[in-house]
Structures are given as structure tokens and as C-alpha cells.
């Protein structure tokens, strides 16, 4: 969904299988200078890709790299950039935030860490007057609630993104539209590794469809045959996960009706596919005054 402009006050909705969160947000104008971006989890594959993408983007720059690995190494060299960025990797988020806060520049912390550390990381960023973009799979609803309360109290922005893939978001939106016209649906995903299955993307799609209040696959809704896949949500949406070395990360949603099958598919072949969404998230979060769940709010 494309939106030409954003109102001063808006209402965003965070939903999960059983719980719904109503989160208000409002916008403010950022400083005209470059955004100072700190990457927490900078040594990960996605962190290194983010360093390159942010360095190339207009209006922002990498100002800090935090990780527990490759301590002391220049983040530019770790990312195989032509020139070093003269930014060493350190394992002290507070030190980096304190340095940036003294410059009075608009700061954003990108969190690629772990569900168990997200709240404390955002709390630290908030204490230094900085916004946060969180891309950490499987954050618990209780953590989202606590983060929302924290951001409301501090009047600061935080964007929690279950996915940074714009293609994945478009797939989710198309699946919701299709679900109003079909009573049978199954999700098939593939991956080269057997971690995090069903994937966060598959779970999000299944939850979105379940929240529509429609019962799917009534003919074998109660089957206990394991080969039929795992039911995610409460309305009969099944997820099948295929794992083989060399497979791309792929998600397909198959709908069927009398005499037809309708399939939506999205493939991710490289972490670079997440970078346009990340840059968009950085540009949007600096205008927020509290928490927004889902990058789709800005598409």
C-alpha cells in the first residue's frame, strides 16, 4: 500500500495470534545533518551488508560497530570495503552511544542481536536520545509491549521489523487479499539450514491469515498426519518446511478453489535483498516518537 504522506498523529496496529496491540505514533522533523548509525551485531552477515549499504546511502553514515567478535578490527576492512572506515568493532554499546550523543547529531541504533537483549539495547539507546530499528526474529509479545511502554514514556521512536524484505511484505499483503476469495491455503517454505522453522516470515503470514477470522482447509482440519505439516495459528493454516543445502530462502503461499490453484512466491537469494528495507526503516524511524511494529506501515 503506498501512502503519499503521513499525518501528525496516526494509529498503528500490532497483531499476533492471540493478542493485539494498539500503538500510536507521531512524527517529528529530524536534524538536517547526516544520521549517525550504530550497528549492533555488526560482524554478522547482515551487519556487514548494512555497513556497506549505509555507507553508500545519502544522508546517513556508520558511526559505530558493536559486536562480540573481531574486536578491534576496522569494520570497513571486515566488510572488504576499498578504504577502512576507521571505526573499530567494540563490545561496549554504552561507550559508542555516549560518544555520539556528545555530537548532538541524530542517532539511530540498528539491532541485529538476540531476543533476550533487545529490551536492554533499546533502553540504552533511548537513554541517550537515539532511535532504534530492531530486526531480531522471534521477539516475544511481552517484550514488544514493554518496548512500546518504554518508547511512549520517553517519547522516542522505535521500529520493530519482523522482516526487512520489501518483497516479503508485498507477499504478505497479497496473501491477505487472496484469503478473502479462497478457503484452502497452505504455506511451503524452503531453506538451506534447519534453523528457525517455521520461519518468522511463514509464521507471520499464517498469523495474518488466521486473524481474518476464516477457517481454512476444513476437509482435513483435524488430521494428525505429520506429513500434512504444522498448523500455525488457530484457523487451519499449515506450513511445510523444506531444507536442503543450496536451496534459496523461499516462501510460497498456495491457495485453491474449484478448478484453480493460485500461488504466490518470494525468493531471497542474498542478504542484499534486505538493504532497501533497512535504509527505508532508518529514514522513517528518525521521525517517530514511539514504537511502530512492521515496516509495512511505511510502504
Interval 37-68: pLDDT, tens: 999 999 999 999 999 999 999 999 999 999 99
Q: How far apart are CA 75 and CA 90, in angstroms?
A: 10
35-160+273-293 and 166-268 share one fold? no
Residues 6+ apart with CB under 8 A from 88: 65, 71, 72, 73, 74, 75
Residue 245 neighbours by CB distance under 10 Å: 7
Question: 10 Å Cβ neighbour count for 214?
Answer: 15
DSSP E strands in 206-290: the ranges are 230-232, 237-243, 249-257, 260-268
Beta bridge partners of 263: 254
Q: Which pLDDT score, from 0 to 100, does residue 8 have?
A: 38
Strand partners, 37: 62, 108
What does the block give as the cell for 13?
A: 496496529
CATH code that applies to domain 166-268 = 3.30.360.10
CATH topology classification for 35-160+273-293: Rossmann fold (3.40.50)
Walking along the chain (299 residues) 10 residues at a time, the average pLDDT comes out as 39 37 45 83 98 97 97 97 96 95 91 97 97 94 97 97 96 96 95 86 92 85 80 86 93 96 96 97 96 95
What local confidence, expressed as pLDDT, does residue 174 receive?
97
Strand order in the sheet with 237-243: 230-232, 237-243, 184-191, 249-257, 260-268
The whole model's pTM is what?
Answer: 0.84
The position carrying cell 503521513 is 6
| H or E element in which residue 299 lies | none
| Residue 267 β-bridge partners | 250
| pLDDT number for residue 270 | 94
pLDDT of residue 75: 98
Show me where the domains of the chain are located: 35-160+273-293, 166-268
For residue 142, what are the CA distances in angstroms to 19, 92, 116, 223?
10, 26, 12, 32
CA–CA distance, 97 with 128 (Å, rounded to integer)? 7
Amino acid at each position: 500500500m503506498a501512502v503519499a504522506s503521513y499525518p501528525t498523529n496516526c494509529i498503528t496496529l500490532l497483531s499476533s495470534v492471540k493478542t493485539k496491540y494498539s500503538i500510536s505514533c507521531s512524527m517529528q522533523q529530524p536534524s538536517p545533518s547526516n544520521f549517525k548509525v550504530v550497528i549492533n551485531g555488526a560482524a554478522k552477515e547482515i551487519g556487514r551488508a548494512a555497513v556497506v549499504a549505509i555507507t553508500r546511502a545519502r544522508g546517513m553514515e556508520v558511526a559505530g560497530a558493536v559486536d562480540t567478535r573481531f574486536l578491534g578490527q576496522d569494520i570497513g576492512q571486515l566488510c572488504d570495503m576499498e578504504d577502512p572506515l576507521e571505526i573499530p568493532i567494540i563490545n561496549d554499546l554504552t561507550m559508542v552511544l555516549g560518544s555520539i550523543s556528545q555530537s548532538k547529531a541524530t542517532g539511530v541504533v540498528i539491532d541485529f542481536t538476540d531476543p533476550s537483549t533487545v529490551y536492554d539495547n533499546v533502553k540504552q539507546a533511548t537513554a541517550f536520545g537515539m532511535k532504534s530499528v530492531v530486526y531480531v526474529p522471534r521477539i516475544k509479545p511481552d517484550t514488544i509491549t514493554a518496548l512500546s511502554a518504554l518508547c511512549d514514556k520517553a517519547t522516542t521512536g522505535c521500529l520493530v521489523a519482523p522482516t526487512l524484505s520489501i518483497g516479503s511484505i508485498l507477499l504478505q499483503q497479497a496473501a491477505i487479499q487472496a484469503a478473502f476469495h479462497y478457503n484452502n491455503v497452505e504455506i511451503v517454505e524452503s531453506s538451506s539450514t534447519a534453523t528457525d522453522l517455521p520461519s518468522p516470515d511463514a509464521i507471520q503470514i499464517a498469523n495474518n491469515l488466521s486473524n481474518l477470522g476464516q477457517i481454512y482447509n476444513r476437509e482435513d482440519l483435524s488430521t494428525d498426519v505429520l506429513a500434512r505439516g504444522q498448523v500455525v495459528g488457530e484457523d487451519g493454516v499449515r506450513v511445510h518446511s523444506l531444507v536442503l543445502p543450496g536451496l534459496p530462502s523461499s516462501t510460497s503461499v498456495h491457495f485453491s478453489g474449484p478448478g484453480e490453484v493460485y500461488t504466490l512466491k518470494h525468493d531471497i537469494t542474498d542478504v542484499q535483498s534486505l538493504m532497501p528495507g533497512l535504509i527505508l526503516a532508518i529514514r522513517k524511524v528518525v521521525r517517530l516518537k514511539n514504537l511502530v511494529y512492521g515496516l509495512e506501515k511505511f510502504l
